[in-house]
Each structure stands twice: as structure tokens, then as C-alpha cells.
Chain A
Amino acid sequence: MPLAEVVGSTAAIGYGLAAIGPGVGVGLVFAAYIQSTARQPEAARITQPFLWIGFAVVEVLALLGIAFGFIWAGAPVG
């Protein structure tokens, strides 16, 4: 006899799990930028493009999670 039952799409749980990594990653990227800027304020302009590149590269993982959730929504459940 099942004690509990999950109804609806488990994609929401999957996406929650998938967002952990990029969440930590984006946090690290900005933490590193803030720290480097605090240590050497003149370097703020120099490192800024790399901040955004790093942010974008990490963030795309979370966005892949959103996209694939919908792409595989119609896939047959095994």
C-alpha cells in the first residue's frame, strides 16, 4: 500500500535539482568578482567582460534545464 503519492509532473523536482549547480556556480562567479574588485578596485573594468562571460557560461546550464523540461515533456514515460 503506497503511503504517499506524487501527482503531476516530476519535471518540477528535476528542475529544482538541476538549478543547484548553476546556482552555486553563479554565486562563485560573482563572489570572485566582488573579491577581486575589493582587493584591487582599478581592475574592476578589466575583469568585467570575463565576469559576464563566466556568468553566461554557467547560467546556460540552468536554462538548458528549463528548455529540456519542455522538450522532454512529451517523451514517453518508461
Chain B
Amino acid sequence: MTGQTAVLAADVPFPPSVGDFYLPSIVPWGGHDSWFTKITLMLWLSVAILIIFFLVAYRKPQLVPDKKQWLAESIYGFVRNNIAVEMIGKEGVRFAPYLATLFSFIFMMNLWGIIPFFQISPNSHIAFPIILALISWVMFIYLGFKKHGIGYLKIALVPPAPWFILPILVPIEFFSNFIVRPFSLAIRLFANMFAGHMLLLVFTLGGFAMINANLWLAPVSVLSWLMTIALTFLDFAIIALQAYVFTVLTASYIQGSLAEGH
């Protein structure tokens, strides 16, 4: 075992726990109880990268786009045509800017989970997904009341069913439309990022734990680290998928609010 591995393996905590998600403060002047952690830095970086990228890409729009403009137009075009218009219909175009912002922000925030030296997504702290889900929640309820007035409650809560089954159906509809929706949006994004980071931790630290326990287990450790690389690719697929799913579900809730009753 080389010296460096010995140092690394000496105090590897295994198994990983929830405590591994609470990162220490990184302000250069010390102070371990400051609020400025790697998570905060990644949040600010995501916002800055997105704003600067889209501003620069659209600074001089050309008929024949260059690479930056092509990428920005692809992202916006994808969200506009494949999510907003397809889910909501013609009216969806006016929600395309919000949905595109949501999609690229979640994607960028998730992407930190596999970028070397960062390797944890801010979305693995539930505070961020909760705020995003609350925005979607307030938005589709507001749109519903704006379009249908108080009749929105009837559209949202009273399904076309025989009257005697309604006492059961109305509470279920209320529960599923107004309580479960924001909750499941937030939990889905949070738990995916949390589980992704946890998996990477288990296989990385597990490799160290095994090589530490018995040198004969070294081949298994290498296998474990190879598994980490494979899981990083899987994580990338999940990152893109979750950004897409969050945006599609938001669009589908908006569509439900705008639809003419049953």
C-alpha cells in the first residue's frame, strides 16, 4: 500500500451517513459555523453560469447560429416544443420561458453531483427542491383560480362520478391535487440526488473500507471503484431525467389548471 492510500484509508468512515451531507464552512478566514459552504458556492455558481451563458449566447443573434447560440436555442427550443407546447397546447408558449429557466436551473444544480471536486448536488438538501416545488404549486393553483374563478375548486375536486361515491372521491382528489403534488415534486428531486450521492459514497468509501480491512480484498476494492465510475454515468442519466421530469410535471399541472372542466 502506498503512503497516500494508507493516509486516505486510515480514517475512512463507513458506512456513509446523513452527516456526510452537512459540509463544513469554506470561508477562507476560518470560522466553522459560517453559512457559506460548498453548497452555497455551487448555488451562486449555477445562477451566475446560467445568466452569463444565456446573455452571451444571445448577445449577437445570427441567422446562422454559432455554437453557443445553437446550444442555447436547442435548450429553449426543446423545452418550448417538447414540453410546453406538447403538454399545455398552443397556450403553452407563454409558459416556455419559466419552464426553460426551471429546466436549465435544475439541470445545472443536479450536474454538480458528478462534476469532479464538487461532486454533491445542492438539490440533495431538500430546501432547494421544496422552494422549486412551492413555486410550481402556487403557480398552478393561481392559474386555476384566475382562469375559472371559484369554479376551479369544482374542476379540481369533483370528478364526474355518481353522487354517492363523491364523499370518498373529493377528499382523495383534494389530498392528491393540493397536498401530495408539491410534496412528491420536492421529494422526487431531493431523493434522487440524495440517493445518487449516497451510492457514490458507498462504493468509493466501501473500496477503502475493504482494502483497509484486509489487503487480499484489494481486487474487490478496485472493482468497487470501477463501479463508482459506472454509477457516475448512470447518475448523469438520472440528472437529465429528473430535470426533465420536474419540468414535465409542472407543465402537466399547469395544463390541468387551464383545461376546460370535465
Q: Which A residues fall within an 8 A CB radius of B?
A: 49, 52-53, 55-57, 59-60, 63-64, 66-67, 70, 73
In the complex, which residues of chain B have a beta carbon less than 8 angstroms from the beta carbon of A63? 187-188, 191-192, 195
The complex places the Cα of A5 from the Cα of B248 at a distance, in Å, of 47
In the complex, which residues of chain B have a beta carbon less than 8 angstroms from the beta carbon of A56? 188, 245, 248-249
Nearest chain B CB to A66's CB is how many angstroms away? 5
Contacts across chains A and B counted by CB atoms under 8 Å: 40
Q: Are B244 and A59 in contact (CB under 8 A)?
A: no
Q: Are A60 and B188 in contact (CB under 8 A)?
A: yes
Q: Are A52 and B184 in contact (CB under 8 A)?
A: no
Nearest chain B CB to A18's CB is how many angstroms away? 12
Q: Are A52 and B188 in contact (CB under 8 A)?
A: no
Q: Are B249 and A67 in contact (CB under 8 A)?
A: no
The 8 Å CB contact of B194, one of A49, A55, A60, A66, is A66
Further pairs besides A52-B248, A60-B187: 17, Cβ < 8 Å: A49-B86, A49-B248, A49-B252, A52-B245, A53-B245, A53-B249, A55-B245, A56-B248, A57-B184, A59-B188, A63-B187, A63-B188, A63-B191, A63-B192, A67-B191, A67-B194, A73-B18
Some 13 contacts from A to B, beta carbons below 8 A apart, are A49-B83, A49-B248, A52-B244, A55-B245, A56-B248, A60-B187, A60-B191, A63-B188, A64-B187, A66-B194, A67-B187, A67-B191, A73-B18
For the complex of A and B, the 3 pairs showing the least CB-CB separation, nearest first, are A63-B191, A56-B245, A60-B188
In the complex, which residues of chain B have a beta carbon less than 8 angstroms from the beta carbon of A67? 187, 190-191, 194
Q: Decide if the interface of chain B is mainly helix, strand, loop or mixed.
A: helix
Nearest chain B CB to A48's CB is how many angstroms away? 9
In the complex, which residues of chain B have a beta carbon less than 8 angstroms from the beta carbon of A59? 188
In the complex, which of the residues B191, B194, B195, B252 has the most CB atoms of chain A within 10 Å of its own CB atom? B191
Q: Decide if the interface of chain A is mainly helix, strand, loop or mixed.
A: helix
In the complex, which residues of chain A have a beta carbon less than 8 angstroms from the beta carbon of B87? 49
Nearest chain B CB to A67's CB is how many angstroms away? 5
The complex places the Cα of A59 from the Cα of B249 at a distance, in Å, of 13
Q: Which B residues fall within an 8 A CB radius of A?
A: 18, 83, 86-87, 184, 187-188, 190-192, 194-195, 241, 244-245, 248-249, 252
In the complex, which of the residues A52, A59, A60 has the most CB atoms of chain B within 10 Å of its own CB atom? A60
In the complex, which residues of chain A have a beta carbon less than 8 angstroms from the beta carbon of B184? 57, 60
The complex places the Cα of A64 from the Cα of B184 at a distance, in Å, of 9
The complex places the Cα of A57 from the Cα of B245 at a distance, in Å, of 10
Nearest chain A CB to B82's CB is how many angstroms away? 8
The complex places the Cα of A30 from the Cα of B185 at a distance, in Å, of 21
The complex places the Cα of A55 from the Cα of B245 at a distance, in Å, of 9
In the complex, which residues of chain B have a beta carbon less than 8 angstroms from the beta carbon of A57? 184
Q: Are B248 and A53 in contact (CB under 8 A)?
A: yes
In the complex, which residues of chain A have a beta carbon less than 8 angstroms from the beta carbon of B194? 66-67
